[in-house]
Structure 1
Amino acid sequence: MRTWQPLGEAALRKLVLAAEAAPSIHNSQPWRFRYHPDTGALTVHSVEERVLPHLDPLGHALHLSIGAALFNLCVAARHLGHEPVVRLLPDPASPHLLASVHMTGHSEAGARAGPDLYAVIPERHTSRVPFDDEPVPGEVLAELVEAAREEDATLHFPEPQEKQRLLALTSEADRRTTMDPDRTEESRRWVHAPDRSGAGMPQEVLGARDTGAHLPMRDFTGLAPGTLPPRRAFERNPTIGLLATRNDHPEDWLRAGMALEHVLLLATAHGLRASLMHQAMEWPDLRWALRDPERGILNAHMLIRMGRADTHPGTPRRPLREVLETGALQERSP
C-alpha cells in the first residue's frame, strides 16, 4: 500500500509555479489547481471562461495545454524528491477535473538520465522569430523522438516533400481562419498589453511574418489594420516535427500535451527554440489530412518548428492566488 506524502506550502508553490510555466493556446492558461490536504491529492481542472469556443470547440488545444502543465508539475515533483502518481480524467462525473496527482516519497529522479528539465522550465518560451539555417543534429532529433515515445506519443520529422505538404495544410488553415470573423475576433481578444489577469499575449511576442511566405506563422490579429507584424526572412529549410498519437480521445490529448512539453523542455536544454503550429488541428478535415497511416501517424496534435535563435520575450502568467486553491495546508514542506 502506497503512503501519500503531504505537501507543505513552499512545495505546493513550486509545483504550481512550474506547472503554469507551460505553453497554452493563445496563452489562455486554462487551468486551476486544487490541493486536498485530507487525501494528499493535487487536482488539475479546466477553467470554463478560458476556453476558446470558436478556435477550439472540442477542447483539443485546452487538453494539450493542461497536459503540458501536468508534465511540468511532474518534473517539479521529482525535483522535490517525490514520485508523482498521475490519474488522467479520474471522475467521469466531473468533466472539468482533468487529472489528479498524488506524491510518494520515492523519486526516481536520480535514475533518470539526461538534462535537468526542471532547470530549463523558466527558459522555455515559444519563439516566433526566424531561426538560423543550421540543421538540428540528428542525435538531438533522436532524443526528442524518444522523449515523445516515453509519453505514449510519436514525433516524426518528415522528409522535404512531406514537410511542404504539412506546411501547405497549415497555410490553408491560416487562410480559412483569417476569413472567419468569429475566429479572428476571438484571437484578437487575447492580444493585449500585460494586465492584472496575466493571460493573453503582448504585441511584442507575436513575432513576424515570413517574407518568403513559405512558413505560415499564425496571425493573431486577423489582418486588423495597424496591427500587422513586420516581415522578416525565415529559415529556408525549417526543422518541423509532427506530434501524434495512435488514439484520439481526451486522455490521448492530455498525453500528447505531456509529450509536447517533454519535447519542448528537452529541446530547450539543447539550446533550441520552438514555435508551435496548431492551426491545421483547428479544422477537422485539415487535421485528418495530416495523417500518414504508413508511418503510424493517425491523430496529429501539433507541428513543432525548432531551431536556434536569440532569446525571445516570454508571455506573462496569472498570479498564483488565481490558479491555486488550498485547504488547511500541512506545516512541513520539503
Structure 2
Amino acid sequence: MRARTPGKQTVTSLIRAATAAPSLHNAQPWRFRYLSESGVVQVRAALDHALPHSDPHGRALHMGCGAALLNLRVAAAHAGLAADTTLLPDRYDPRLLATVTLRSGADGEDGPGAGLGELYEEINRRRTSRLPFCDERVPDPVRARLRDAAEREGAQLHFPSTWHTETVLDLIHDAEGRDLADPGRSAELSEWTETPPGHDFTGRPVPAELHDTSAVEYEEAPQLALLGTAEDRPTDWIRAGQALERVLLLATREGLSTALSSEAVEWSDLRWTVRDPLSSMGQVHVVLRLGYGPPVPATPRRPVSQVLHID
C-alpha cells in the first residue's frame, strides 16, 4: 500500500510559511511544485523575480530560496512531518534548487530538523528593520545560541571585533552609495521596494548628491554579525540562506530586532575585505545588524496561489 502523502491543505499551509522568508528587495524569487503522488515539494528559482543588476551572480536568489526552504522545514516539523531535503538534485535543471520529501514523523533529537518546530511561531513575527536600535549589548549566551543555529545549517556566524566592525560599516556605506549611483541597481531598488532609499544599513545618510536626506539618531556602536560558509558555491548559498533564516527566527524568539545587508559582497573589489581576517570564514554572504528596537510592520507577500503548483 502506498504511504499517504500530505494533502493540499497541509502543503498550502507549509508554503504559506515558506513565503514569509526574507529576500533581497523583497523580490520573493521562489516557486514551489508539489508532486502529490510522491509527497515531494520542489523549491524552484523564479527567474522573473531575479535581480540581474543587484544580484548578478544569483547569490541572493539562492539565499532567499534557502531561507524559504528553512521556513518550509520549520513548518513541516511543527506539523509533525519530517522533511528529507536534497539541494540542487538535478544538474541539468539549475532552476530546481531543492527537493523536500515530506513523511510522517519528526527527526530525532540529533537530526537536522531537531528543534526546528519550536521556531514556527516566529515565522510570522520575524521582521527586517531599518529603524534605530538601542545601545544595549546582545548578551554572550544569546550570541552563542545564534552561532549554534548557523552551525546547525552548515554555516558560521561571526561577531567581528570593534575595528573590523568599523571597516564593514564603511564598506556597506560605500556599496549602498554605489548601488544608488548605478542606474540598473537603482531601478531595481525602486521597482521592488516601496520605501524610497535615504539611509544605509546603519542609518547613515547616503551621499547628498545621490539623495537629499538628513541623518537620524542610530545606535553609537552597531552590533554586527557576519554569516558565511567555508566555500562559495551555489550549494553554499542555499545553505547560507537556511542558516540565515534559522538565525533570524531564533533572534526573533530572543526578542531581537534585525537588519540585513548583502550589497558589499556583490561588489568584487569590496567582497574580500568584508571577511574578518581573524575568522576562519571563507566567504561572507550577508551582514546582520542586531539589537533591541521597536516593532515594524510586515512586508507584502505574494499569495500562495501565485507560487504553488500542485500535480
User: TM-score over 0.5 for the alignment?
Assistant: yes
Shift, 1:313, TM fit: 1.2
| Residue 198 of structure 1: aligned partner | none
* 2:37 aligned partner: 38
Deviation at 1:291, TM superposition (A): 2.5
* Aligned residues of 1:217 and 1:277 also touching (Cα < 8 A): no
Instruction: Look up the SS of the partner of 1:295 in the other structure.
Output: coil
Deviation of 1:123 after TM superposition, in Å, equals 0.3
Query: In structure 2, what is the equivalent of residue 330 of structure 1?
Result: none
Change (3 A) 1:5 1:286: farther
Distance in 1 between residues matched to 2:31 and 2:67, nearest whole Å: 13
Residues in 2 aligned to 1:307 and 1:125: alpha-carbon distance in whole angstroms: 13
Instruction: Check the 8 A contact 1:79/1:118 in 2, yes or no.
Output: yes
Contact 1:155/1:242 (<8 A) preserved: yes
Q: For each residue in 1:46-85, what CA deviation from the matched residue of structure 2 results, as whole angstroms up to 9, or x when unmatched?
A: 1111011011111000011000000000000001111110
Judged with a 3 Å threshold, the aligned counterparts in structure 2 of structure 1 residues 240 and 115 are, in CA distance, closer, same or farther, namely: farther
Take 1:108 and 1:151, find their aligned partners in 2: how far apart are those partners?
Answer: 15
Contact 2:39 2:103 in 1 (8 A): no
Deviation per CA, 1:186-236: give whole Å up to 9, x if none.
Answer: 211113xxxxxxxxxx33xx68637xxx936697xx9467xx5x6320001
SS in structure 2 at match of 1:254: helix
Q: Using CA pairs below 8 Å that are at least 6 residues apart, which structure has the higher relative contact order? A: 1
**Residue 69 of structure 1 aligns with which residue?**
68
Q: Is the 8 A contact 1:78 1:109 kept in 2?
A: no
SS of the aligned residue for 2:290 comes to strand
- Separation of aligned partners in 2, 1:233 and 1:286: 27
Aligned to 2:220: 236
The 1:216/1:171 distance shift into structure 2, 3 A limit, reads: farther
| Aligned partner of 2:243 among 253, 259, 263 | 259
SS at match of 1:232: coil
Structure 1 portions without partners, runs of 5+: 192-201, 328-334
Separation in 2, partners of 1:130, 1:208 = 14
The equivalent residue for 2:82 is 83
- Mean Cα deviation higher: 165-174 or 263-272: 165-174
Identity %: 42
Distance 1:109 1:11 in 2: 22
> For the residues of structure 1 that align with 2:36 and 2:291, how far apart are their CA atoms?
43
Q: Is 1:215 paired with 2:202?
A: yes
Compute the displacement of 1:114 (Å). Answer: 8.6
2:288 aligned with 1:288, yes or no?
no
- Greater Cα offset, 105-114 or 85-94: 105-114
* Residues 238-247 or 182-191, more deviating: 182-191
- Over 3 Å counting, the alpha-carbon distance change for 1:217 and 1:28 in structure 2 is farther
Q: Which moved more, 1:108-117 or 1:282-291?
A: 108-117
Q: Partners of 1:114 and 1:57 in 2: how far apart?
A: 32
From 156, 164, 167, the counterpart of 1:165: 167
The residue type equivalent to 1:297 in the other structure is: M
State the number of aligned residues: 305
What is the one-letter code of the residue matched to 2:6?
Answer: L
The equivalent of 2:231 in structure 1 is 247
3-state DSSP class of the match of 1:305? Answer: strand
Question: For structure 1, which segment, 23-32 or 104-113, has the greater mean C-alpha deviation from structure 2 after superposition?
Answer: 104-113
Counterpart of 1:65 in structure 2: which amino acid? G
Counterpart of 1:77 in 2: which secondary structure? helix
Distance 1:90 1:114 in 2: 23
**Counterpart-to-counterpart distance in 1, 2:10 and 2:260:** 30
User: CA RMSD of the aligned region, Å?
Assistant: 2.2
Find out whether 1:145 has 2:147 as its counterpart.
Answer: yes
- Amino acid in structure 2 at the alignment position of 1:271: G
